[in-house]
Amino acid sequence: MDKLISSKFTKGDKVFLRDMTTDDAKNIVKWRNDPAIQKWMFTQDKLTIEGHLNWFKKRENRIDYMICEIEEGTPIGTVNYINIEEKRAEAGKMLGDKSYWGGGYAKEAFILWLNIGFNELNFDEIYVKTMSHNNPNIGLNRKLGFIEKESRTKEITRNQKVEELVMTINKENFKYLR
C-alpha cells in the first residue's frame, strides 16, 4: 500500500515523512522502551530488536512511516495507519526523540499524515485511540479537529486497566486540509 503515497504531502517546514525500513529498528526499540513513552502505549511489553524485526516482516493491513527532522534527516518518530478498511483507518503517532517534544514537530507530522490519509488514500474517516489521561495527545488531536467518540476500559497488562478514548475526524472537520 505504500506505493500509493506520493511525495506531495510528505514534506513540511520542520519534518518529512519516509517509509519505515528495517534500519529503523534500533531507534524504534529505544523509543518504545523509554518509560516516558512506554507509559502511553497499549502494549506494555519491552521490545527487542529481534522481536521488532520479526513483527516488521509479518505486519499486515498497515502503513508505517518515519518522522524525520528536515535539517539533518534524523529520525525522530513514527506515524502509521492500521486496521485499514475501505474508507477508514486508525492512525497513530509517536514522537520518540524527546528533544523534539513541545516544538510542533508531532503536530506538523500528523498534519502531513492526515493529509495523506484524506487526499492520497481517500479515507472518509480517521480515528485514533489514546489513553484518556494522555492530555498532550488529546489536546493535539482536538487542535486538528478530532472529536471524542467513545471511552472504554481496556486491559493493557494482566493487572492494569486504562480508559481508552476513541477520537475521530473526517475530511470536513480537518482544519489543515491541503
CATH assignment of 2-123? 3.40.630.30
Domain positions in the chain: 2-123
Q: What is the pLDDT of residues 41-77, one digit of tens each?
A: 767 678 799 988 988 999 999 999 999 999 999 999 9
Rounded CA separation 42/59 (Å)? 17
Q: How many residues does the chain have?
A: 178
List the grid coordinates of 8.
506531495
Answer whether 149's CB lies under 8 Å from 166's CB. yes
Residue 127 is which amino acid?
Y
Long-range contacts for 134-137 (Cβ within 8 Å, ≥24 apart)?
A: 134/40, 137/40
Closest listed residue to residue 139, CA positions, set 96, 172, 110, 163: 110
Please count the helices (runs of H) and the strands (runs of E) in the chain: 5, 7
> 17: how many CB neighbours lie within 10 A of its CB?
23
- The overall average pLDDT reported for the chain is 89
Q: Is the dihedral of CA 27, 106, 8, 70 positive or negative?
A: negative
Q: Is the pLDDT of residue 3 over 50?
A: no
The residue among 10, 17, 140 whose CA lies nearest residue 75 is 17
Question: In what order do the strands lie in the sheet containing 147-157?
Answer: 15-19, 62-69, 75-82, 88-95, 125-131, 160-170, 147-157
pLDDT digits (tens, 9 = 90+) for 139-170: 999 999 999 999 888 776 667 788 889 999 99
